[in-house]
Structure 1
Amino acid sequence: MKTLSTQVAIIGAGPSGLLLGQLLHKQGIETIILERVTGEYVLGRIRAGILEQGFTELVREAGVGERMDQEGEVHEGFIISDNGNCTHIDLKALTGGKTVTCYGQVEITRDLMAARAAADLTTYYEASNVQPHDVNSSQPYITFSYQGEDYRLNADYIAGCDGFHGISRKTIPAHLRTEHERVYPFGWLGVMSDTPPVNEELIYCKHERGFALASRRSATRSRYYLQVPVSDKVEDWSDEAFWEELKRRLPAEAAAQLITGNSIEKSIAPLRSFVCEPMQYGRLFLVGDAAHIVPPTGAKGLNLAASDVATLYKLLTRVYREGDTACLQQYSPIALRRVWNGERFSWWMSNMLHNYTGMEVSGMQGETFSRFMDSELHYYLNSENGRKVIAEQYVGLPYEEPL
């Protein structure tokens, strides 16, 4: 067995693992990243594209913001359509100048990969049998296999950035962790197409036939979603059927302008709210989807991962600069405060914008629940203070600084 050593071992080479590695590298802290799949596979994951202002500032701090600033689209607002009646949420005006940036997760990942390669930092792609050990001791380590050989990676700390199905969360003993989960009774059918987006800003659509979202990745690439039953399969939906249903749910003016084409990616994603508490066990720290999942309605998944990274990187920097290991106990409480706010906002937006007809929710019939949510949405859209509540959370609350 070959033995390696580093200061911080990172499991997972998605955007959160790569961003953490890049930020720590800028502080002179050594990292090794282990990833179970190829880099090409990581780049093939189609994910979110709306970045909070705090996230974009963190990317610049990591020194990888040049292409994001050149190619990303700054959005000053978005639209909520309530059965065809459109309300503009003016983010910039309602939040004192804050905005969001449309720049795909794949592009963030590509930029971070390039930066890591340019700095000649170590990443093991296609690492198998990854297993953390002794994480509740002063000498944690990871065993893994790579290209037919077995390895032991000694580290001061381990960051679990390996997603919902990864090994990191399961390393915390079951009796010491609490997992909160809500599985939603519908999914999102998503289509990517090389067609001009139907609108310059995103359109969130509440409709009697179900929720829809008109999103975008660039001026020439669109991303659209439809609420569908969890029993639906991708094969049930031809491109033609998707476009026809999307037109029914979009506001009439947008539907008339919709340019359709062949899908380049089509998938159905289940929706869930999930939180694992705590997010730390000894010298193991959970980051991003390893600790929490949100429904995509509020555009919070990737952004919550970024705030985890911001907190952990600042605390680890203090450890190596000042020798203050006690500060690490702040990680889970700080991260969870922001996680629960993002979970609540995503749950709230999902409840207001989706159709629950025929489903039981919170002990009541879906039709009754929908009446409550209709009233909720009507109030918030027709009140400036209500729109401000939506806008402040959509652009993202400020990162909490460690004490």
Structure 2
Amino acid sequence: MNILLIGSGGREHALAWKIAASPLLEKFYAAPGNPGIAQEAECVPLNVDDHDAVCRFCIDKKVDFVVVGPEAPLVAGLADALKAGGMAVFGPSAAAARLEGSKGFTKDLCSRYAIPTAGYGRFTDAAQAKAYVRQVGAPIVVKADGLAAGKGVTIAATEDAACAAIDDCFSGMFGGAGAEVVVEEFLEGEEASFFCLCDGKTALPFGTAQDHKRLSEGDTGPNTGGMGAYSPAPVMTDAMIERTMREIIEPTLTGMAEMGTPFTGVLYAGLMITADGPSLIEYNVRFGDPECQVLMPRLKDDLLLLLKGAADGQLAHMSARWRDEAALTVVMAARGYPGTPEKGTRIDGVDDAADPTLGVNIFHAGTALKDGQLVANGGRVLNVTALGHSVAEAGTAAYAAVDRIDWPGGFCRRDIGWRAIEREKAGR
């Protein structure tokens, strides 16, 4: 098959790395890609916001299958445009992508289909949102309704902090994403990420992970797009996965189908595992970033075959197998992130730090080549990923690779996987 991968981040590099191993692959294109993806695919300077241009490219290059990595093109309807042009595509329609594109839509779906989630209110007026905060009390969670690149969520310890977050949303800090605000009750528990491939009717469990959203050690500091992750998530036992499928995933697929917007693609459930069981925090309609970077090294099977099976409605006849090893990824970010990252700083030693034969891979996220030199070109820049017989062993290998990279303009957290490592030490 001739494949086009849409995207340019660490998630897409991990997908490209795995797709490139498929015996089904003939010609591989990526738009726009990055220097790491360019090692696996031919990068093309397509404007992915121009759906007609993407469709024309697919026709000209005889592309058989399109894999859409990021959420924004899906919410904007790229999958719809490709399907209308006769292309096979992995990713949901714009209507189905509302599961990520509107947090309020997802909360209403949960309410309608009795899917466990935090109590909430939806608001387009700051005064009403603040009144709800004072009614519920703190701690409380304030979310911009739309896409905000992982930065539109505030876990407020006080009512004043929640009200300030509401003002931030309505002031335009997150653009159109903050035109509506969702305010949620605070859930106590342990977070986990759960993934399923979906073909509209069938959901195939596709791995678990835990990421670290906070900037600094000890899960402190502002929320980010994710500073690291590991897989599998120990809290997601077989029993917890079974409950999540029954109580959350299956009712969601049923509800979306009943609304005439069946969901196909990857459904990523952000969960809080509470004393009462799994509760949905939010849905994403694409692989997590950086969770994808720890799922792909653990997947035994042909990713391309599975993605095509989801697009073709064949998941009832398919399964996914996983390595016993744990995987851990450390995000190396540019100084200034998550505010204004320093771009253009020189990065050396990446190729020397990687050792695929030992399960150490470095996935590029915000990188660029300038006169042949690798430089930082974003906030989250590199994903240093390793396998190990335990999370602790994977972490040791990943941090050893981090230390071989010469990048004074970067930084990382030094405690990725701490929760799982404590469990391992305790023998749980």
Q: Same fold (TM over 0.5)?
A: no
Flag the structure with larger Rg. 1
Hey, which of these two has a bigger chunk of helix by percent? 1
Structure 2 length-normalised TM? 0.25
Higher relative contact order (CA 8 A, sep 6+): 1
